Amino acid sequence: MRILVLGGGGREHAIVASLVASPRVAHVYAAPGNGGTAAIAENVSLPVEDGAAVAAFALEHAIELVVIGPEAPLVAGVADDVRAAGIPTFGPGADGARIEGSKEFAKEFMRRHGLPTGTAQAFSALEPALAYLEEVGAPIVVKADGLAAGKGVTVAMDLGVARDAVRECFEGRFGEAGSTVLIEEYLTGPECSLLVFTDGHTVVPMAPAQDHKRAYEDDQGPNTGGMGVYSPVPIVTDTEHEAMVAAMRAAVEGLAEEGIDYRGVLYGGFILTAEGPKLLEFNARFGDPETQVVLPRLEGDLAEVLLAAAEGRLADVELGWRDEWAVSVVLASGGYPGDYDVDMPITGIEAAEALPGVTVFHAGTRLAEDGTVLTAGGRVLNVTALGHDFSSARDRAYEAVALIDFDGVFYRSDIGAKAQRGRDAWQV
């Protein structure tokens, strides 16, 4: 099979790594890919949000499956154009991707289908939004409606921060994405990501994972795209897991009822409240960095799974999850999630990967002409380790992290630590 993967982060490196391991796969292109995909696939330069250009490339290169990693091409409708060209595509069309592209749409969808979630109200003008904040008080969550590269959500512990967040949206900080604002109930509890494969009918849940979104130790500092992750998630009870799976099945049924032919990953971002799991958000794609711990645990052929989902026959494939633990630590550029420098030479990746069970997924890297791996983004590497239990996976991941270096590198040293202390660690 010849496959084109769109995207260039750690998620896409993990997807490409699983695809090239399949005996069915002859060639993988990554657009644009990164320093990691360059070593195992062919990186190509393509305008990934231009559906016509992606379809033309796919036809010209006899691509048999297109896999869309990031949200922006999904929301732009790239999957629609590629499917219209007759090529199986893993990823929803623009109608399905609205579940991530509009927080207001997602919240109304959750309400229409009775899915568990917090209360929220949408506003398209500043004054009514500010008046609502006075009415409900803090803590409260302010969300820009559209895609904002992970920066559109403010968890405001006081009203001043909430008011500033609302003003920033309406003053255009996120462009059109902030022209509608969702003000949402603040919920407390541990978060858990539950992703499912679906062809629009059959739903195959993946292993749960827990991301660490704040930049600094002990969940302090600004929100990021994710600083580390582990799977499975021992603090989730069987009852909670069943409730999350039921909500995801109901969501896929809801999409089908609304006439949306959804083929790809549906990502449920849950918070485990005292009243049970509630949905914070949906994403229309694999999570990043969740994918970097979930796919290494997949027992089965990812190429077969993705093609079956794209072709509407997911019920035909079998997959399972290795009885191993995976922990992934993000190495970031100094200054991330704010401004940071790039082009720092990275050392130690080979030594880290020589450790048993360790894989270093590249996120923001590129290869210099002499083969040196250079930093090229905020989140640079995802150092991932498998182990027979949580402690051994964590210890291995951090042993590998210690071998890698670049100017300004920073990472959290507490990935998975809270979960190892148990559920009480989330009590405030």
Alpha-carbon distances, residue 98 vs 51, 189, 255, 258 (angstroms): 17, 27, 11, 13
191 or 414: CB nearest ligand GLY: 191
User: Least distance from C-beta 69 to ligand GLY, angstroms?
Assistant: 10
Cβ contact 329:417 at 8 Å: no
DSSP character at residue 158: S
Residue 385: CB minimum distance to ligand GLY, A: 19
Q: How long is the chain? A: 428
Give the orientation angle of helix 238-257 with respect to helix 103-112, to 10 degrees. 100
How far apart, in whole angstroms, are the C-alpha atoms of residue 167 and residue 283?
Answer: 25
- Pick the closer one to ligand GLY by CB: 399 or 414: 414
Select 76 or 129, whichever has its Cβ closest to ligand GLY: 76
CA–CA separation, 13 vs 2, rounded Å? 17
The token duo for 41 is: 């696939």
194 residue type, one letter: L
- Name the 3-class secondary structure at 4: strand
What is the smallest separation between the CB atom of 152 and ligand GLY, expressed in angstroms? 12
The residue among 71 and 304 lying less far from ligand GLY, judged by its C-beta, is 71
Which residue's beta carbon is nearest to the bound ligand GLY?
287
Q: Is 258 helix (H, G, I), strand (E, B) or coil?
A: coil
Of 18 and 22, which CB lies nearer to ligand GLY in the complex structure? 18
How many CB atoms are located within 10 Å of the residue 348 CB? 17
Please report, as ranges, the residues that interact with ligand GLY according to CB under 6 A: 211, 226, 283, 287-288, 290
Closer to ligand GLY by Cβ: residue 170 or 411: 411
DSSP E strand boundaries for 82-200 = 89-90, 120-123, 140-144, 153-156, 181-185, 191-198
| Residue 36: CB minimum distance to ligand GLY, A | 18
According to DSSP, the β-strands at 120-123 and 181-185 are antiparallel
Rounded (5°) CA angle 338-343-344: 90
d(CA 130, CA 185): 15
Pull the structure tokens for residue 366: 């590129």
Min dist CB 57 to ligand GLY, Å, is 26
Please, which residue, 180 or 283, has the CB nearer to ligand GLY? 283
Instruction: Tell me whether residue 267 or residue 340 sits nearer to ligand GLY (CB atom).
Output: 267
What proportions of the chain, in percent to the nearest 5, are helix, strand and coil?
Answer: 35, 30, 35
Taking the complex as a whole, the smallest distance from the CB of residue 230 to ligand GLY amounts, in Å, to 12
CB of 147 to ligand GLY, least distance (A): 11
Q: How many helices (H) and strands (E) does the chain have?
A: 15, 24
Q: How far is the CB of 387 from ligand GLY (least distance, A)?
A: 22
CB of 106 to ligand GLY, least distance (A): 13
Choose between 57 and 336: whose C-beta lies nearer to ligand GLY: 336
Nearer to ligand GLY, 198 or 210 (CB): 210
Cβ nearer to ligand GLY, comparing 101 with 287: 287
Least Å from the CB of residue 192 to ligand GLY? 11
Cα dist. 310→202, 216, 262, 399, 422 in Å?
Answer: 12, 38, 9, 39, 39
Name the token pair of 113: 């289908």
H-run or E-run covering 241: helix 238-257
N-terminal to C-terminal alpha carbon distance within the chain: 51
Closest CB 318 distance from ligand GLY, rounded Å: 26
